[in-house]
């Protein structure tokens, strides 16, 4: 019976991989990912995206032209997607929990997860490579595996700015799974060393080797986004004069402000940005000081702006990319075909099914948080620490997005859901097995 279940699982995941190819080829390349690929190809870095993410693209670009490199990454990412779900389900089968395995596979086919399997963008980069690393470590549980998954952990780390807090928990998860005999203090030290090392590499290599601009450009977008929101609410502002292009008025700033998305202010439809970003360290310092003055002078307005953004993000109520976050706009710039009408793409239509009342009213978040915490705390086996690490990694990805996020797109939540899913997939079989053991003990004759 176990052999039949394993074969069925393999066939199902193989069919899922084929479906990702059939419905998604050659992938949905976001405009942000196009900029990253171009920076890697040209070796010229603007500073808005992590230069190390562009460096990661140099490897396929050494062997292929841009369209072929994107197709290669699409094939790898889709494979990583189905391997992750397959390994999590197989781990449940090993623990004699076929119902949990079926639930995991069903989740792989569910909207919006399945639709995002074709997305070539930074959030899927984080989700797939971290998720696969964790699934491999928890399945094999061999010391040598930690070394093999380190490149995948790095690929996920550089996918987005601000992932170091979440990465510590991911590294702790992988270290605990691969080195179960080590004491927790030693494992935590190793995870911290990996986090510090990756962060130092992401800072020093762009600065000393690539001569790339700092990440102040990205931080400035978040700061100006906050200041524009406070300006709209209160009519008070401390925005430096050089931030607003000549010929634009305060009314233009307010008119362009969207509480859910910063795009109109920096990448306006007319091609003229509402805000200029800092180009020097002195300008960045001046903007940071102005931002501190703004939020300290209007703290209630600041928290109102943040609450409004968090509501749009968490309740899945807004996106510029056809309602679901699938963005095809970067593909044509590098020779990758895009659908004539992306809103009618089958994956977009399928992902729209996720916009149910369950998601949009926030119950899914209440359910996810409660489930993750309960499972992680109630598990009494040695995997409890790993379940907690996966859950904390999810919160480590979510909290910076709530504080510094610049767009309330569902795609930013994909790696968060992925970490929660890994926690549940690990904890639920253990919880079921321990429950069965307790029931058998009570039924056994004294």
Does pLDDT of 425 surpass 60?
Answer: yes
For the segment 1-34, what is each residue's pLDDT rounded down to a tens digit?
A: 567 688 889 999 999 999 999 988 888 888 888 8
Q: Which residue has the higher pLDDT, 287 or 216?
A: 287
Q: Name every residue whose Cβ is closer than 8 Å to that of residue 269 and which is 6 or more positions away in sequence.
A: none
- Rounded to a whole number of angstroms, the CA Rg of the chain reads 23
**Candidate from 178-182, 211-215, 296-300 with smallest mean pLDDT:** 211-215
Does pLDDT of 187 surpass 70?
Answer: yes
Q: Which residue has the higher pLDDT, 442 or 235?
A: 235
**High-pLDDT (> 90) share of the chain, %:** 28
Q: Put residue 235 in one of left, alpha, beta given phi > 0 → left and psi -120 to 50 → alpha.
A: left
Does pLDDT of 126 surpass 90?
Answer: yes
Does pLDDT of 138 surpass 50?
Answer: yes
For residue 74, what pLDDT is reported?
93
- Cα gap 158→278, rounded to integer Å: 23
Q: Select, from the ranges 31-40, 135-144, 322-331, the one with the highest average predicted confidence (pLDDT).
A: 135-144
For the segment 326-354, what is each residue's pLDDT rounded down to a tens digit?
A: 788 888 888 887 888 877 888 888 777 76
- Cα gap 100→300, rounded to integer Å: 45
For residue 188, what pLDDT is reported?
94
For residue 174, what pLDDT is reported?
94
For residue 376, what pLDDT is reported?
66
Q: Residue 321's pLDDT band (boundaries 50, 70, 90)?
A: very low
* Mean of pLDDT values over 107-135: 89
* Mean of pLDDT values over 164-188: 92
* Mean of pLDDT values over 184-210: 89
Instruction: Give yes or no for a contact between 117 and 13, defined as CB atoms under 8 angstroms apart.
Output: no
For residue 134, what pLDDT is reported?
95
Angle between helices 281-297 and 299-314 (to 10 degrees): 100
Instruction: Give yes or no for a contact between 338 and 328, defined as CB atoms under 8 angstroms apart.
Output: yes
**Candidate from 176-185, 336-345, 397-406 with smallest mean pLDDT:** 336-345
Tell me how far apart the 2 most distant CA atoms of the chain are, in Å.
Answer: 87
For residue 334, what pLDDT is reported?
84
* Mean of pLDDT values over 299-319: 83
* Mean of pLDDT values over 139-164: 89
For residue 251, what pLDDT is reported?
67
**Residue 242 CA: distances (Å) to CA of 237, 269, 275, 284:** 14, 21, 9, 11
For residue 360, what pLDDT is reported?
57
Q: Residue 408's pLDDT band (boundaries 50, 70, 90)?
A: confident
Q: Residue 169's pLDDT band (boundaries 50, 70, 90)?
A: very high
* Mean of pLDDT values over 111-121: 85
Does pLDDT of 103 surpass 80?
Answer: yes
* Mean of pLDDT values over 224-244: 87
- Cα gap 387→377, rounded to integer Å: 9
Does pLDDT of 269 surpass 50?
Answer: no
For residue 324, what pLDDT is reported?
60
**Candidate from 66-70, 190-194, 246-250 with smallest mean pLDDT:** 246-250
Q: Residue 322's pLDDT band (boundaries 50, 70, 90)?
A: very low
Could you tell me the pTM of the whole model? Answer: 0.90
For residue 193, what pLDDT is reported?
95
Q: Select, from the ranges 120-124, 334-338, 441-445, the one with the highest average predicted confidence (pLDDT).
A: 120-124
- With b for 16 or more beta-carbon neighbours within 10 A and e for fewer, the 407-416 pattern comes to bbbbbbbbbb
Q: Name every residue whose Cβ is closer than 8 Å to that of residue 215 and which is 6 or more positions away in sequence.
A: 47, 50, 161
Does pLDDT of 250 surpass 70?
Answer: no
Does pLDDT of 117 surpass 70?
Answer: yes
Q: Residue 41's pLDDT band (boundaries 50, 70, 90)?
A: confident
Q: Select, from the ranges 36-40, 154-158, 307-311, the one with the highest average predicted confidence (pLDDT).
A: 154-158
As a whole number, the mean pLDDT across the chain is: 83
- Cα gap 424→416, rounded to integer Å: 13
Domain ranges for the chain, please list them: 2-211+332-355, 216-314
């Amino acid at each position: 019976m176990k052999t039949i279940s394993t074969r069925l699982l393999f066939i199902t995941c193989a069919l899922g991989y084929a479906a990702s190819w059939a419905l998604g080829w050659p992938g949905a390349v976001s405009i942000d990912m196009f900029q990253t690929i171009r920076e890697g190809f040209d070796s010229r870095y603007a500073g808005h995206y992590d230069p190390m993410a562009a460096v990661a693209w140099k490897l396929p670009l050494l062997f292929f032209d841009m369209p072929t490199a994107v197709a290669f990454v699409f094939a790898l990412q889709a494979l990583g997607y189905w391997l992750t779900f397959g390994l999590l389900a197989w781990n449940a089968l090993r623990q004699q929990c076929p119902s949990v395995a079926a639930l995991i596979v069903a989740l792989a086919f569910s909207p919006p997860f399945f639709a995002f399997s074709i997305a070539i963008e930074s959030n899927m980069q984080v989700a797939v490579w971290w998720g696969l690393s964790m699934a491999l470590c928890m399945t094999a549980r061999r010391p040598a595996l930690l070394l093999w998954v380190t490149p995948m952990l790095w690929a996920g780390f550089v996918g987005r700015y601000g992932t170091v807090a979440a990465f510590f928990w991911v590294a702790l998860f992988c270290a605990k799974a691969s080195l179960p005999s080590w004491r927790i203090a030693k494992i935590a030290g190793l995870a911290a060393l990996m986090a510090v090392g990756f962060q130092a590499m992401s800072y020093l290599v762009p600065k000393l080797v690539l001569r790339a601009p700092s990440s102040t450009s990205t931080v400035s977008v978040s700061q100006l986004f906050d200041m524009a929101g406070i300006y709209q609410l209160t009519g008070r502002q401390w925005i430096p004069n050089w931030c607003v292009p000549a010929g634009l008025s305060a009314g233009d700033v307010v008119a362009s402000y969207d509480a859910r998305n910063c795009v109109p202010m920096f990448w306006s439809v007319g091609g003229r940005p509402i805000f200029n970003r800092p180009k020097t360290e002195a300008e960045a310092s001046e903007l940071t000081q102005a931002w501190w003055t703004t939020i300290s002078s209007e703290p209630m307005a600041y928290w109102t702006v943040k609450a409004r953004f968090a509501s749009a993000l968490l309740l899945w109520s807004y996106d510029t990319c056809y309602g679901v976050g699938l963005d095809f706009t970067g593909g044509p710039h590098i020779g990758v075909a895009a659908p004539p009408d992306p809103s009618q793409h089958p994956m977009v239509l399928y992902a729209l099914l996720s916009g149910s009342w369950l998601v949009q009213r926030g119950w899914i978040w209440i359910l996810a948080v409660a489930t993750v915490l309960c499972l992680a705390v109630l598990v009494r086996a040695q995997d409890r620490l790993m379940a907690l690490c996966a859950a904390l990694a999810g919160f480590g990805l979510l909290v910076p997005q709530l504080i510094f996020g610049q767009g309330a797109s569902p795609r930013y939540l994909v790696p968060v859901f992925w970490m929660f899913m890994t926690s549940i997939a690990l904890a639920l079989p253990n919880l079921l097995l321990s429950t069965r053991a307790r029931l058998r003990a009570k039924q056994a004759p004294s």
